[in-house]
Amino acid sequence: MTAKIIDGKAIAAEMREDVAKGVKELIAAGGTQPGLATVLVGGNPASHTYVRMKRKACAKAGIESFHHELPDDASQEEVEKLIQTLNADSKVHGILVQLPLPAGLDEEQILRSISIEKDVDGFHPVNIGRLAQKGREPLFVPCTPAGCMILLEKAGAQIEGANAVVVGRSNIVGMPAALLLVKANATTTICHSRTKDLPAVCREADILIAAIGRAEMIRGDWIKPGAYVIDVGMNRVDDPSRERGYRLTGDVAYDEAMEVAAAITPVPGGVGPMTIAGLLANTLRSAQRTLP
């Protein structure tokens, strides 16, 4: 069997086009231009890159972005004060606080200070709590896990009743991905660093989501024949043959998995592009709510 490649880049591009169209329609209907505030605290180079990419994507979709940078030694009070100002700003429909925050800041308290109506990253404890509760719906769902679900649907995976395994239980990927699978009626197992016999657990998965951060940890013989595999991992592996000296690889041994799975996301070009597309879609949705 050769797995179908789930083309996240193409699916995300379609989503971004839909958002751009939605922005035009919103404005034509008398709504305001959607606005996303980005908050960057400190000088983490990767965070700077991510925020730059998000702002560029906003501009392409017709979403205005308002960028705010605070120094590494910004106080909790300063960050929360900025968020209060953005909560009250009617031009801002989404607030994105780029994580991770510098040590010493209370991440939970900062995320909690974002108005849930503007929580386009979906990390506010109330939104996550609603995601975890039966019969409740969050206003926003975290973008990377939401992207995983879209990729599964687009690939034609049967989610309801499937055995789903998520490897990783982080607040931003693994846990919300598992909660979304439960909401979609999959029988879901969450694995982590203390899971016993991980290969055996993975082999039961009709749907396997890997969000670990360990290059090619999941081998081909851990995968059930015909499984749908979503590889969230984004790992740098030294590669002197490349100009930049490294290549990006996922948490799944891609070539091996290709022989066994029904469908798989590549890295890069799988889950990665879905995160920004989801952020744009959430910001548009937030702005649409302001229509009379």
- Catalytically active residues, by annotation: 54, 98, 121
Closest by CA to 251, choosing from 168, 169, 136, 191, is: 168
Interaction of residue 193 with ligand NDP, rule CB under 6 A: yes
169 counts as binding ligand NDP under rule CB under 6 A: yes
Q: Identify the three-state secondary structure at position 250.
A: coil
> Considering the rule CB under 6 A, would residue 94 count as an interface residue with ligand NDP?
no
Q: Could you give the CA distance from residue 66 to residue 61 in angstroms, rounded to a whole number?
A: 15
Nearer to ligand NDP, 62 or 233 (CB): 233
The pair of structure tokens assigned to 1 is 């069997």
> Is the Cβ of residue 113 or residue 144 nearer to ligand NDP in the bound state?
144
DSSP per residue, 28-80: HTTPPPPEEEEEEES--HHHHHHHHHHHHHHHHHT-EEEEEEE-TT--HHHHH
| DSSP-H helix ranges across the chain | 8-28, 45-61, 76-88, 107-113, 125-132, 143-155, 174-183, 198-202, 254-258, 272-288
Site for ligand NDP in 206-225 (CB under 6 A): 211-214
Our finding on whether 174 is near ligand NDP (CB under 6 A) is yes
Task: Report the distance separating Cα 57 and Cα 64, nearest Å.
Answer: 10
Three-class SS of residue 109? helix
The residue with tokens 């780029």 is 98
**Which CB atom, from 31 or from 174, has the smaller least distance to ligand NDP?**
174
Residue 146, amino acid:
A
Would you say 274 and 144 are in contact if contact means Cβ atoms under 8 Å apart? Answer: yes
Instruction: Tell me: does residue 235 bind ligand NDP (CB under 6 A).
Output: yes
Nearest distance, CB of residue 263 and ligand NDP, angstroms: 17
Contact residue for ligand NDP among 26, 198, 205, 281 (CB under 6 A):
198
Q: Would you count residue 189 as binding ligand NDP (CB under 6 A)?
A: no
CA 36 – CA 284 distance, rounded (Å): 9
From 19-27, 82-90, 149-157, 188-196, give the range in contact with ligand NDP by CB under 6 A.
Answer: 188-196
> Which of residues 37, 128, 159, 167 is near ligand NDP by CB under 6 A?
167
Binding mask 264-283 for ligand NDP (x = CB under 6 A): -------xx--x--------
Total residues interacting with ligand NDP, rule: CB under 6 A: 25
Per-residue contact track with ligand NDP, 131 to 150, x per CB under 6 A? -------------x------
22 interacts with ligand NDP by CB under 6 A: no
Name the residues that contact ligand NDP, by CB under 6 A.
Answer: 144, 167-170, 172-174, 191-195, 198, 211-214, 232-235, 271-272, 275
